[in-house]
Structure 1
Amino acid sequence: MRRLRLCAMLTAMYSLSLFAQKATWFDNVKVSGFAIAQYQWSNPKDNEANSFNLRMARVALDGKVAGDFYWKTQIQITGNTSTLASSPRLVDLFVEWQKYKAFNLRLGEFQVPFTFESPIHPVDVGFMDNGQAVLKLTGYSDRSGMHSSNGRDIGIMAQGDFLKNANGRNLLHYAVSVVNGQGINLKDVDQRKNVVGSFWVMPIEGMRIGVSGWEGSYARKGNWTDEQSGESRSGVRSLPQHRYAISGEYASNGFTFRSEYVHSTGKAFAKTMTDTNDASASDCNLSAIGSKADGFYALGIVPVVKSKVNIKARYDLYRNNGEWNSAKTFYEAGADYYLAKNLRLSAEYALVNDRSLSKHNYSLVNTELSIKF
């Protein structure tokens, strides 16, 4: 059944591509994608790991239709196909009206505008993965218990750039979305929409400074035990989520410096949803991690040989309950080597300090081969 579903998705995309080649009202249709192969070694006490892995692969179609409309559809393939978290699935499907630079309107399933790093292409993030705060508070491996959604949701978004300077470069950017709050490929549960938005200024070429906000909820329909009375309850349980991020970045001529602080208030479900047919989908009991979390990262990527060799470092902290007893910190250093323009070999070493473990410190080595097409 899973193979049939994947085949159907690929066939649909291929058919759309053929149709687009014949239809004159489709313009600039292209097929793109990427793949990341990974080897990772780590040695936390009693939980050592050493494995090759296909981290992620995506195939996308995008183009213009009827002049002012941009469209995109993208599927992701990675690892085990038995769960929502890693099975072949649709991650993007939207249409955007782009008649005016200052006001674009997008409808469908797309990346929500929260943090600078979340919308960055996975190959271009520069490290083994997004920062922990982005992963945990932006809909990837979200602390709320939401299934892995790659920072995406279903809804509508307005965005644009405006206020040009003397050189014709826009100084301000905004994006505001109204989404279900349930992640990718799922309908709303509690009928309470989430509002997610970001705003940033671009004072000089390559620099942006901004803020993001997230107001809404994550909900499930199922059963739970009331924390106060101990009674069994059933129905829809909605957990409010209030989040903000403060972000800064400078990226120019191969140099990248980026830093973000992300804060969250809102309780979480005890089990992460992994399958809509699994018990996790209807388990509405609360996690013991509480209602607060925050994280901070700062990174630098410097070209040693332009377009050929980079060196890089990152400090990455996340506190799952907002307290230092849950802090997990990565001290990372590494390098990239471009075998060709879109073929890159990356290697990193990280010293990890995890205060939730009896032995806090351990090492992690990560290597990746990534290709874009």
Structure 2
Amino acid sequence: MRKTLCFILIFLFPVCLTAQEKLGGIVNTLKERITLSAYAQLGYTYNSAADPSNSFDIKRIIFMADGKITERWSCYFMYDFAVSSLQELYTDYQFLPGLSVRLGQFKTPYTMENLLSPTSVELINCYSLPACYLVGINGSDALCSASGGRDIGLMVYGDLFKKLVTYKVALMNGQGINTRDRNSQKDVVGYLSVDPLKWLTVGTSFVIGKGHSVSETPVHGIEPGENYRRNRWSIGAFLTGEKASLRTEFMTGKDAGMKSNGGYATGCVQIVRNIDVVASYEYLNRNVTMGDKQSNYMAGLQYWFYPKCRLQVQYTHLEPKQGEGSDLLQAQVQVRF
């Protein structure tokens, strides 16, 4: 019996070694082809509005997986545990150095700001008033669901002339994330940016399509479930230096017969090592005819205590056309790995 066991062990030993080598090869391959990352943003907000409020909050807990299937074929996954929602899921294929195709759920290529990660945007509120409204990021436009600036569709994109020009052209549902299109029309979205100088990027983008109303608003006069013309346009610029940057955009929109516009300018200056002063002005005119305008003024500091990790403190004055103004005092910590 003992001899038999020894014989079996001797026989199985090379088999086990081969299996272990194969398993190790698979693990090493996965390490080489899959990149995992995550970040979280946690903070505190005090609002001095007519009914003052203050609260600690968890804004985002993002998990990301980037998989490289072949040299030209990849896939990407993003999930937000703070709201238990799939944010992005798409696959890319590069046909040529300047020609790639993306299919799935991803950022709508409208405005330069919407394409930025929240980990690099200077505002604790993240995106500007006009971007949140005209892109449909946070549901401030009641006709659209909050989509985080994302949609489902097909996009052709790439960089040309040694990355002097970047282009994106997409055909998208126009309904937002995690939902099917609710009408038969698709949105055509275009984005073009040029880097004429090392420190300057100039870009423009547009959306041409039809929306499907998810709610009723007295300002628009559009009924729930109604299809309506929904067009957008933007132009902007990034100026970046070693210790200072300036980002600005102007945006316009037309929903049925109602026009809206807005813009922002956000600057960041490094005053000492790892500490920046941040200032921003933004405005949104929801209805140009009625002059339904709101302006926000922000000033703050941010301290980068580790690469991609920062502590932010900001004061914002909100000035609506109607009603009294209010103030926000906010703090946020961001960790990323």
With normalisation by structure 2, the TM-score equals 0.85
The 8 Å contact of residues 27 and 63 in structure 1, kept in 2 or not, is answered as: no
**Residue by residue, what CA displacement relative to the aligned partner does 1:75-111 show, whole Å, maximum 9, x if unpaired?**
1122xxxxxxxx3111100011124331111001111
How far the C-alpha of 1:155 sits from its partner, in A, is 0.7
Counterparts of 1:147-162 in structure 2 under 5 Å? 147-162=145-160
Instruction: Tell me: CA distance 1:205–1:51, structure 2 relative to 1, closer, same or farther (3 Å).
Output: same
Cα deviation 1:47-81 (Å, max 9, x = unaligned): 21111111111101112112211210111122xxx
- Counterpart of 1:115 in structure 2 is 111
Q: Could you say if the C-alpha distance between residues 31 and 293 of structure 1 is closer, same or farther in structure 2, counting changes exceeding 3 Å?
A: same
Q: Is the 8 A contact 1:26 1:64 kept in 2?
A: no
**CA separation of 1:329 and 1:178: change in aligned 2, threshold 3 A:** same
**Structure 1 pair 62/348, CA: closer, same or farther in 2 (3 Å)?**
same
1:94 and 2:90 aligned: yes
Structure-1 residue corresponding to 2:210? 217
- How many pairs are equivalent? 310
SS at match of 2:114: coil
1:260 is the counterpart of 2:260: no
Partner of 1:293: 260
Q: 2:46, 2:215 → 1: CA distance? A: 39
Instruction: Write the letter of the residue equivalent to 2:186.
Output: K
Match of 2:235 among 246, 249, 274: 246
Aligned residue identity for 2:130? A
**Matched residue SS, 2:33:** strand
- Identity rate of aligned residues, in percent? 25
Higher deviation after alignment, 93-102 or 126-135: 93-102
For residues 249-292 of structure 1, give each alpha carbon's deviation from its aligned partner in whole angstroms, at most 9, with x where no partner exists. 1123242210001101004xxxxxxxxxxxxxxxxxxxxxx722
Write the deviation string for residues 137-176 of structure 1: whole angstroms up to 9, x where unpaired. 1121241522211111111001111123xxxxx2111101
Q: 2:301 aligned with 1:335, yes or no?
A: yes
CA distance in 2, matches of 1:39, 1:58: 19
Give the match for residue 138 of structure 2: 141
Question: How many Å apart are 1:22 and its aligned residue?
Answer: 4.2
Q: 1:22-61, aligned counterparts within 5 Å?
A: 22=27, 24=29, 27-45=32-50, 47-61=51-65
Deviation at 1:218, TM superposition (A): 1.6
Counterpart of 2:332 in structure 1 is: 368
In the aligned structure 2, how far is the partner of 1:263 from the partner of 1:90? 29
Unmatched segments (≥5 aa) in structure 2: 1-22
Cα separation, 2, equivalents of 1:25 and 1:334: 42
Asked if 1:126 corresponds to 2:122, the answer is: yes
CA–CA distance in structure 2, aligned partners of residues 367 and 101 of structure 1: 42
Does the CA-based 8 Å contact 1:37-1:369 persist in structure 2? yes
Residue 103 of structure 1: which of 92, 95, 99 is its match?
A: 99
In the TM superposition, 1:141-220 aligns within 5 A as 141-142=138-139, 143=141, 145-164=143-162, 170-219=163-212
How far did 1:328 drift? 1.1
1:220 CA drift (Å): 5.1
For 2:215 and 2:130, how far apart are their aligned partners in 1?
28
* Corresponding residue SS for 1:159: strand
For the 8 Å contact 2:143–2:214, the answer to whether it is kept is no
User: 1:29 Cα shift?
Assistant: 0.8
Per-residue CA deviations over 1:226-260 (Å, capped at 9, x if unaligned) read: x99xxxx99x5212101100111112324221000
Deviation at 1:185, TM superposition (A): 0.9
Question: TM-score scaled by structure 1?
Answer: 0.77
- Pairing 1:285-324 to 2, within 5 Å after superposition: 291-306=258-273, 308-323=274-289
Change over 3 Å in CA distance of 1:182–1:205 after alignment to 2: same
The residue that corresponds to 2:11 in the other structure is none
Change (3 A) 1:314 1:32: same
Letter matched to residue 148 of structure 2 = N
- Per the alignment, do residues 21 and 111 of structure 1 end up closer, same or farther by CA in structure 2, a change over 3 Å counting? farther
Letter paired with 1:195: V
SS at match of 2:161: strand
The farther-off stretch of 92-101 and 126-135 is: 92-101
User: How far, CA to CA, are the matches of 1:95 and 1:66 in structure 2?
Assistant: 12
**Alpha-carbon distance change, 218 to 23 in structure 1, aligned in 2, over 3 angstroms:** farther
Q: CA deviation at 1:114?
A: 0.6
Structure 2: how far apart are the matches of 1:134 and 1:305? Answer: 31
SS across alignment from 1:203: strand
Larger Rg: 2
Q: Is the 8 A contact 1:189 1:220 kept in 2?
A: no
Distance 1:334 1:221 in 2: 36
CA contact 1:189–1:221 (8 Å) conserved in 2: no
Structure 1: how far apart are the matches of 2:279 and 2:69? 42
Kindly tell me: are residues 150 and 159 of structure 1, through their superposed partners in 2, closer, same or farther at Cα, counting changes over 3 Å?
same
